[in-house]
């Protein structure tokens, strides 16, 4: 096992892929000479050169679409989009081409493209660099949506994604890049089909992914001191969703709190809630609860941003509300 | 041989000229049949006919090899036929049948044939250009000699993807021929009503790539201009923008009442029908006899009759297979 940060894990995985497969290349804004807006690709240009660590103009639609074409032409592109808000500029290529071509062509084409995108708030970047829109992506048939919340997943999901025949989006929560953990660099296989039970518990399921996993884990510790035994589920992959792990957990705990940094209305948290209601309604001892971001564009000021994002106190309070008091 | 004979040499290849004429007529008759099938409710959805623009599709296609990639638009029947996709699988696609070139998933706007490197009809205006850039990038990175021919309409020039793609291809010196079929209308909006600079070929200069404009009603001129463009691109010099100035004789789609242009305008362009002009030229050169035309027309009629019968008789895609080709599913 090698100790590294989340940032280093993504880089190590890309380096491994670039070394092992000549079809792999990285393309995006400032991935080369600058070293990546979040320094993820730092050092890769020196090792692999400008053909394979390809600085692109501020043309999200063109370079994402070029990634599609390159994938069709036999390459294995990794496209980096600096933030999820910028990915809106490539949405035509993402939805109308990448996700669609395989089916629309009657199965003749497939697009083995990996797109890495920084997502989420918490860094006072305000309303055009901070949102959590990965749930929108999870709405789209034809693609996979991965949300690594741990250092091993930051590593393994890149390598797993590069083995997929269809487009895979990896949403890296920007607050996680300095997170430290351990990676088994000798591993050969990386599962991206299952959610993970990060902490077993019996009284309530805290269901989350990405940047809010740490908050849910912290909430579970506080709940434990209050006598509430929380189970924490890291969804890991939003599409295709591992419904079974959610169902198993809620069937056991009978209560669910969904924690999602996205907005509540029309959201992925609503999808999780619907899955619970559709599958384990009879097992529920309380209504499903959700802790989401306030329904506002992300504000800049620290206290306002903190008030917008889901916080540990809210998760704890939501869970306590569901669990009956003993004694 | 006299000097005038020499200058006329490209025109006097009788076999090739008759082939070009036949290819244009195939498209014309195919499209006429498609319109008829639409009115008989055999074809549904949107149907955008290529009638009037045949010289561009056929002329330019002659200079692409089977190793080259083709990217087209939702008005792609002409390119698909010129690329060699059989009329019957195209008709079957429009009938929504399993034997269609996209298994009935695409319809008129989304023809695909990966075996012929025909990478599709793209129905978001401008949406095919970035894909074409990427196909060319893959060829370049893998040291293949192939180039990519990217057809799009004048309407696409107003999209950001046009500008982003030209810049990216020029910046990275990618082997793309950007081929603008300027039929003067973006659906119902005339070029001068949506472009401040109506000379499309001039837009290339902003991105440092060469360009030219050609009379899109003159098939030999289109072929020659396309040859010049592809020669440049094959030489490893980067992309080229070729604008073919043409006109569609039919409405934008079958759903279009065509209220935004005058009958006089349409009639004046019909006088420059690329098929009529080429027939006349070949007759003047003594290269085309009535018997040739009769033979060509009867061959095409048989091909198109076969296409309709094939489409009619073909099975529908099974509903059980509806989700088969959706990617991104759980690996089993």
d(CA A261, CA A265) in angstroms, rounded, equals 12
Maximum alpha-carbon separation in chain B: 72
The alpha carbon of residue A107 is apart from the nearest alpha carbon of chain B, in Å, by: 5
Which helix H or strand E contains A322, and what residues bound it? helix A312-322
Q: Three-state SS for A72?
A: helix
List Cα–Cα distances, B170 to A63, B210, B239, in angstroms. Answer: 13, 10, 6
| Binary contact (A142, B114; C-beta < 8 A) | no
Per the rule left: phi > 0, alpha: psi between -120 and 50, beta: everything else, B103 is left
Q: What pLDDT does B330 receive? A: 59
- Measured between alpha carbons, how far is B308 from B304 in angstroms, rounded to an integer? 6
What per-residue confidence (pLDDT) applies to B329?
77
Annotate B223-255 with three-state secondary structure. HHHHHHHHHHHHCCCCCEEEEEECCCCCCCCCC
So what's the pLDDT on residue B1?
A: 36
A70 at interface of B, judged by CB pairs closer than 8 A: yes
Q: Is pLDDT above 50 for B6?
A: no
Q: Tell me the average pLDDT across B289-318.
A: 97
Helices assigned H by DSSP within A148-199: 151-161
Q: Which domains can be identified in chain A, with CATH numbers? A: 2-183 (3.40.50.970), 196-322 (3.40.50.920)
User: What is the pLDDT at residue B12?
Assistant: 59
Q: Decide if A69 and B130 are in contact by the 8 Å CB cutoff.
A: yes
pLDDT at B254 over 60: yes
Q: What is the pLDDT of residue B328?
A: 82
Pick the residue from chain A with its C-alpha nearest to B100: A106
Disruptive mutation site among A59, A62, A101, A166 for chain B (greatest number of B CBs within 10 Å):
A62
The predicted structure's pLDDT at residue A326: 59
CB contact under 8 A, B102 and A143: no
Residue B234 tokens read as 């094959």
Q: Determine contact, residues A68/A90, Cβ cutoff 8 Å.
A: no
Average pLDDT (B252-277) is 95
pLDDT tens digits, residue range A16-35? 999 999 999 999 999 999 99
Residue B161 distance to chain A (closest CA, Å): 6
Task: Show residues of chain B in contact with A106, CB under 8 Å.
Answer: 100-106, 112, 325
Q: Which pLDDT does position A43 carry in this prediction?
A: 97
B137–A61 C-beta distance less than 8 A: no
Helix, strand, coil percentages (3-state) for chain A, rounded to 5, are 40, 20, 40
CA dihedral A234, A238, A240, A246 (to 10 degrees): 40
Is A324 at the interface with chain B, CB within 8 A?
A: no
Is A101 within 8 Å of B120 when comparing Cβ atoms? yes
Which residue of B105, B141, B160 is in closest CB contact with A106?
Answer: B105
The answer, yes or no, to whether the previous bond of B112 is cis (omega within 30 of 0) is no
A66/B102 touch (CB, cutoff 8 Å), yes or no: no
Report chain B residues whose CB lies below 8 A from the CB of A239.
328
Q: Kindly list the residues from chain A whose CB atom is less than 8 angstroms away from the CB atom of residue B112.
A: 104-106, 108-109
What is the three-state SS of A111-131?
CCCEEEEEECCCCCCHHHCCC
A142/B contact by beta carbon, under 8 A: yes
- Closest-CA distance of chain B to residue A265, Å: 25
Q: Is the pLDDT of residue B319 over 90?
A: yes
Length of chain B: 332
**Mean predicted confidence (pLDDT) in B117-136:** 97
User: Are the beta carbons of B102 and A68 separated by less than 8 Å?
Assistant: no
A73 touches chain B (CB under 8 A): yes
Whether B133 and A111 lie within 8 Å, measured CB to CB? no
Q: What is the pLDDT of residue A45?
A: 98
Q: Which residues of B touch A68 (CB under 8 A)?
A: 130-131, 134
Residues of B within 8 A of A62 (CB-CB) are 129-130, 133, 161, 164-165, 167-168
What is the DSSP annotation of A236-268? -EEETT-HHHHHHHHHHHS-EEEEEEEESTTSH
Average pLDDT by stretches of 10, chain A with 327 residues: 98 98 98 96 98 98 98 98 97 98 97 98 94 97 98 98 98 98 95 97 98 98 97 98 98 98 98 98 98 97 97 98 78
Residue-level pLDDT at B5: 44
- CATH 3.40.50.970 for domain B12-78+123-287: yes
Q: What are the pLDDT digits (tens) for A249-296?
A: 999 999 999 999 999 999 999 999 999 999 999 999 999 999 999 999
Q: What is the mean pLDDT of residues B18-22?
A: 97
With contacts defined as CB-CB under 8 Å, which chain A residues touch B105?
A: 103-106
Look-up of token digits 């499903």: A288
Instruction: Scan for tokens 């040499």, then name that residue.
Output: B9
Integer CA distances (angstroms), A99 to A89, A209, B152, in order: 16, 23, 21
Hey, is the C-beta of A51 within 8 angstroms of any chain B C-beta?
Answer: yes
Give me the residue from B106, B130, B325 closest to A65, CB to CB.
B130
Segment holding B214, helix H or strand E: strand B211-215
Please give the residue of chain A at the shortest CA–CA distance from B103.
Answer: A106
Please report the residues numbered 290 through 319 in chain A whose beta carbons come closer than 8 angstroms to any beta carbon of chain B: none
Dihedrals φ, ψ of A21, to 5°? Answer: -130, 110
How many CB pairs lie under 8 A apart between chains A and B?
162
* A96–B124 CB contact, under 8 Å: yes
Residues of chain B found within 8 Å of residue A99, distances taken between Cβ atoms: 327-328
Question: How far lies A21's CA from each of A17, A32, A79, B303, in Å?
Answer: 6, 19, 16, 46
Mean pLDDT of B148-174: 98
B325 and A68 within 8 Å at the Cβ level: the answer is no
Q: How many CB atoms lie within 10 A of CB B196?
A: 6
Q: Is A109's CB within 8 Å of B106's CB?
A: no
**A75 phi and psi angles, rounded to 5 deg:** -90, 175
Mean pLDDT of chain B: 94
Report, as residue numbers or ranges, the catalytic residues of A.
60, 129
Residue of A nearest to B98 (CA): A106
Residue B154 is encoded by which pair of tokens?
């004048």
Kindly tell me if the per-residue pLDDT of B331 is higher than 60: no
Q: Are B94 and B100 in contact (CB under 8 A)?
A: yes
With vertex at residue A154, the alpha carbon angle to CA A150 and CA A159, rounded to the nearest 5 degrees, is 140
Of B120, B122, B164, Cβ closest to residue A59: B164
Mean per-residue pLDDT for B244-257? Answer: 94
CA-to-CA dists, residue B87 to A25, B70, B220, angstroms: 39, 17, 24
Question: Residue B164 has which token pair?
Answer: 């982003």
ipTM value, please give it. Answer: 0.95
- Sign of the C-alpha dihedral, residues B96, B100, B101, B102? positive
Contact B327 A104 (CB under 8 A): no
- A110 in B contact zone (CB under 8 Å): yes
**Domain residue extents for chain B:** 12-78+123-287
Which residue's entry shows tokens 């049949």? B33
Alpha-carbon distance A79 to nearest alpha carbon in chain B (angstroms): 12
CA distance A102 to chain B (A): 6
Backbone angles phi, psi at A118, to 5 degrees: -80, 140
């Amino acid at each position: 096992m090698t100790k590294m940060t989340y940032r280093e894990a993504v880089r190590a995985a890309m380096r491994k892929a670039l070394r092992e497969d000549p079809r792999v290349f990285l393309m995006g804004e400032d991935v080369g000479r600058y070293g990546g807006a979040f320094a993820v690709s730092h050092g890769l240009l020196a090792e692999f050169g400008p053909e394979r660590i390809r600085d692109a103009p501020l043309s999200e639609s063109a370079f994402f679409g070029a990634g599609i074409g390159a994938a069709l032409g036999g390459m294995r592109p990794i496209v980096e989009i600096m933030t999820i808000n910028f990915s809106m500029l490539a949405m035509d290529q993402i939805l109308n081409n990448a996700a669609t071509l395989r089916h629309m062509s009657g199965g003749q084409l497939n697009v083995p493209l990996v797109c890495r995108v920084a997502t989420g708030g918490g860094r006072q970047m305000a309303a055009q660099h901070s949102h959590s829109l990965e749930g929108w992506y999870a709405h789209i048939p034809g693609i996979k949506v991965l949300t690594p919340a741990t250092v091993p997943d930051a590593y393994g999901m890149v390598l797993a994604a590069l083995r997929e025949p269809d487009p895979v989006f990896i949403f890296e929560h920007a607050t996680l890049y300095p997170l430290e953990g351990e990676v088994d660099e000798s591993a050969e296989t990386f599962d991206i089909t299952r959610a993970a039970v990060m902490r077993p518990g019996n009284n309530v399921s805290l269901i989350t992914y990405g940047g809010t996993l740490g908050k849910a884990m912290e909430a579970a510790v506080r709940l434990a001191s209050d006598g509430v035994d929380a189970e924490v589920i890291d969804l890991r992959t939003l599409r295709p969703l591992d419904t079974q792990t959610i169902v198993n957990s809620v069937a056991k705990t009978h209560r669910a709190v969904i924690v999602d940094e996205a907005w509540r209305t029309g959201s992925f948290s609503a999808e999780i809630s619907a899955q619970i209601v559709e599958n384990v309604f009879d097992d529920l001892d309380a209504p499903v609860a959700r802790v989401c971001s306030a329904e506002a564009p992300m504000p800049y000021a620290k206290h306002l941003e903190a008030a917008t994002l889901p916080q540990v106190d809210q998760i704890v309070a939501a869970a306590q509300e569901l669990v009956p008091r003993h004694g | 041989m006299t000097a005038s004979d020499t200058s006329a040499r490209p025109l006097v290849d009788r076999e090739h000229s008759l082939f070009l004429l036949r290819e244009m007529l195939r498209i014309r008759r195919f499209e006429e049949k498609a319109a008829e099938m639409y009115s008989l409710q055999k074809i549904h959805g949107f149907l955008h006919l290529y009638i009037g623009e045949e010289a561009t599709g056929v002329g330019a296609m002659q200079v692409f090899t089977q190793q080259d990639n083709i990217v087209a638009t939702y008005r792609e029947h002409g390119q698909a036929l010129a690329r060699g996709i059989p009329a019957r699988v195209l008709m079957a696609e429009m009938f929504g049948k399993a034997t269609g070139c996209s298994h009935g998933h695409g319809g008129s706007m989304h023809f695909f044939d990966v075996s012929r490197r025909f990478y599709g009809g793209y129905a978001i205006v401008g949406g095919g250009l970035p894909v074409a850039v990427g196909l060319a990038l893959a060829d370049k990175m893998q040291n293949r000699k192939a180039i990519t021919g990217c057809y799009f309409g004048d309407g696409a020039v107003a999209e950001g993807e046009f500008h982003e793609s030209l810049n990216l291809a020029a910046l990275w010196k990618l082997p793309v021929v950007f081929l603008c079929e300027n039929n003067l209308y973006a659906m119902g909006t005339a070029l001068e009503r949506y472009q401040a600079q109506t000379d499309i070929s001039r837009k290339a200069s902003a991105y440092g790539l060469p360009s030219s404009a050609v009379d899109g009603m003159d098939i030999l001129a289109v072929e020659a201009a396309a040859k010049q463009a592809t020669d440049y691109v094959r030489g490893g010099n980067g992309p080229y923008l070729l604008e073919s100035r043409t006109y569609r004789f039919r409405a934008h789609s079958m759903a279009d009442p065509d209220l935004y242009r005058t009958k006089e305008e349409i009639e004046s362009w019909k006088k420059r029908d690329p098929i009529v002009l080429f027939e006349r030229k070949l007759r003047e050169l003594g290269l085309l006899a009535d018997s040739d035309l009769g033979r060509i027309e009867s061959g095409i009629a048989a091909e198109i009759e076969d296409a309709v019968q094939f489409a009619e008789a073909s099975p529908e895609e099974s509903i059980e297979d509806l989700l088969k080709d959706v990617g991104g599913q759980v690996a089993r």
